[in-house]
């Protein structure tokens, strides 16, 4: 049916890369990320309500869901993060390799093995939990209604999609064969669906662990198709183009309502052979170029990129400290070196020679503050 893999008309949602891989993290100040935080709600019940439309990535339909993996780290200069090569399925990520070295150490051997194992062991199990691996599923949305952030309405932005919303979309776009349900192109620009979302805060205050953990995301899909607009709210299509779309949608509604897969296939063949469908396919080429003009590129903006020199150096230093058995958040080589220098000078003095023969005279390495565990 498709002239090429990016032919969007009739694009099979199950061809998204997210559905075709074996396995399946956060930019604090990125203005392209749409944030639906209950703390920003203008409603009296503090529930964040908005209507959005999750859409395909117009630059690559198959890469419309970015499953980003990153690591949050701390060193003596504070918190920082790095998007991992794991995002691309590349296990050569140096942080991941360091985690493996720690995770697969044999604590029963004692010594450095026990220390390294403890570096990776999560805090809830009594370890240091230094490897804070983060996972986020990002998509592109158009904000259709939002009284909390009216300046965002009409914009195409990235959204960190909660699992509950993804599960709802997933059931519609990629139903199981056993269900015999039709595939609904929820993310299509012209005949997809909108979602009314509600974000209910957890108990406590923003920033509290329980507040974030118990925040709930719910959504409801529109019954009818919803077409994207230009950011200013004007229609993407002129009247003649809208007629082509309307005719196509009316034909597809019958297919979406048909329960038997065999009957649906027959109806789809008729629709695909209709000259109106050929017109819509040609129209989509224009629509995609139009949307690319104001839609940010999901993969370019949030996908993995080679780290710059500064981040590479910082990550490598963090890894070295971890594999040395120390905590990068508190370890400062300048302080340790100064302590070692002081200890060396003390050992060179006659008085220290006498004291060093006593068990009550610990070296710097023996003091609790410098123990590597």
Instruction: List the pLDDT tens digit at each of the 373 positions of the chain.
Output: 334 555 777 677 777 766 554 433 334 478 999 999 999 999 999 999 999 999 999 999 999 999 999 999 999 999 999 999 999 999 999 999 999 999 999 999 999 999 999 999 999 999 999 999 999 999 999 999 999 999 999 999 999 999 999 999 999 999 999 999 999 999 999 999 999 999 999 888 887 777 878 899 999 999 999 999 999 999 999 999 999 999 999 999 999 999 999 999 999 999 999 999 999 999 999 999 999 999 999 999 999 999 999 999 999 999 999 999 999 999 987 766 555 555 555 555 444 433 332 233 222 223 232 222 1
Domain annotation covers residue 354: no
256 DSSP 8-state letter? H
Angle, helices 94-103 vs 111-120, to 10°: value is 120
Dihedral, CA of residue 195, residue 57, residue 155 and residue 38, to nearest 10: 50
* Residues 82/307, Cβ–Cβ less than 8 Å: yes
Instruction: Summarize pLDDT for 88-125 with one digit per residue, the tens.
Output: 999 999 999 999 999 999 999 999 999 999 999 999 99
Q: How many CB atoms lie within 10 A of CB 270?
A: 12
Domain annotation covers residue 353: no
Which pLDDT value is given to residue 340?
A: 54
Query: Among candidates 133, 154, 159, which has minimal Cα distance to 27?
Result: 159
Produce one character per residue of 163-186: b if its CB has 16 or more CB atoms within 10 Å, e if not.
eebbebbbebbbbeeeeeebebbb
If 0-12 CB within 10 Å is exposed, 13-18 middle and 19+ buried, where does residue 238 land? exposed
Backbone angles phi, psi at 150, to 5 degrees: -60, -25
Identify the three-state secondary structure at position 182.
coil
Identify the three-state secondary structure at position 78.
strand
Q: For residue 273, what are the contacts with CB-CB under 8 A and spacing of at least 6?
A: none
- Measure the CA–CA gap between 171 and 176, rounded to whole angstroms: 8
Domain annotation covers residue 46: yes
- Measure the CA–CA gap between 188 and 176, rounded to whole angstroms: 20
Domain annotation covers residue 164: yes
> Going by DSSP bridges, is the β-strand pair 33-34/156-160 parallel, antiparallel, or unpaired?
parallel
pTM, two decimals, is 0.78
Domain annotation covers residue 192: yes
Which residues span the domain enclosing 79? 13-88+132-235+296-302
- Measure the CA–CA gap between 56 and 287, rounded to whole angstroms: 13
Backbone angles phi, psi at 225, to 5 degrees: -70, 150
Domain annotation covers residue 197: yes
* CATH classification at residue 28: 3.90.198.10
Query: Among candidates 290, 249, 321, which has minimal Cα distance to 73?
Result: 321
Domain annotation covers residue 211: yes
Handedness of CA 171, 176, 178, 181 (dihedral sign): positive
Domain annotation covers residue 223: yes
Q: Count of domains in the chain?
A: 1
């Amino acid at each position: 049916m498709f002239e090429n893999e990016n032919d969007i008309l009739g694009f099979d949602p199950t061809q998204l890369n997210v559905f075709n891989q074996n396995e399946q993290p956060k930019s604090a100040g990125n203005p392209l990320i749409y944030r639906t935080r209950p703390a920003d709600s203008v409603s009296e019940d503090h529930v964040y309500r908005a209507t959005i439309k999750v859409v395909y990535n117009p630059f690559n339909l198959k890469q419309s869901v970015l499953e980003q993996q990153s690591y949050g780290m701390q060193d003596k200069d504070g918190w920082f993060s790095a998007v991992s090569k794991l995002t691309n399925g590349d296990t050569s990520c140096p942080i991941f390799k360091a985690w493996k070295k720690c995770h697969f150490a044999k604590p029963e051997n004692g010594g450095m093995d026990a220390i390294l194992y403890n570096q990776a062991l999560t805090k809830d199990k009594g370890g240091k939990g230094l490897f804070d691996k983060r996972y986020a599923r990002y998509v592109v949305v158009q904000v259709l209604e939002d009284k909390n952030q009216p300046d965002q309405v009409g914009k195409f932005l990235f959204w960190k999609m909660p699992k509950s919303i993804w599960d709802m979309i997933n059931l519609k776009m990629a139903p199981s064969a056993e269900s015999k349900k039709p595939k609904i192109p929820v993310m299509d620009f012209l005949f997809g669906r909108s979602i009314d979302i509600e974000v209910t805060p957890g108990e406590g205050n923003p920033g509290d662990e329980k507040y974030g953990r118990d925040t709930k995301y719910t959504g409801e899909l529109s019954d009818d198709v919803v077409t994207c607009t230009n950011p200013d709210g004007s229609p993407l299509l002129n009247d003649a183009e809208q007629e082509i779309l309307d005719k196509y949608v009316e034909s597809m509604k019958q297919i979406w309502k048909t329960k038997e897969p065999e009957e649906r296939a027959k109806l789809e063949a008729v629709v695909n052979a209709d000259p109106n469908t050929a017109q819509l396919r040609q129209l989509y080429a224009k629509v995609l170029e139009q949307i690319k003009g104001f839609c940010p590129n999901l993969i370019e903006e949030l996908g993995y990129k080679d780290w710059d020199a500064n981040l590479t150096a910082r990550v490598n230093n963090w890894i070295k400290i971890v594999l040395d058995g120390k905590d990068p958040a508190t370890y400062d080589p300048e302080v340790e070196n100064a302590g070692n220098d002081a200890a060396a000078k003390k050992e060179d003095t006659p008085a220290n020679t006498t004291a060093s023969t006593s068990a009550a005279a610990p070296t710097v390495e023996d003091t609790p503050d410098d123990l590597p565990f």
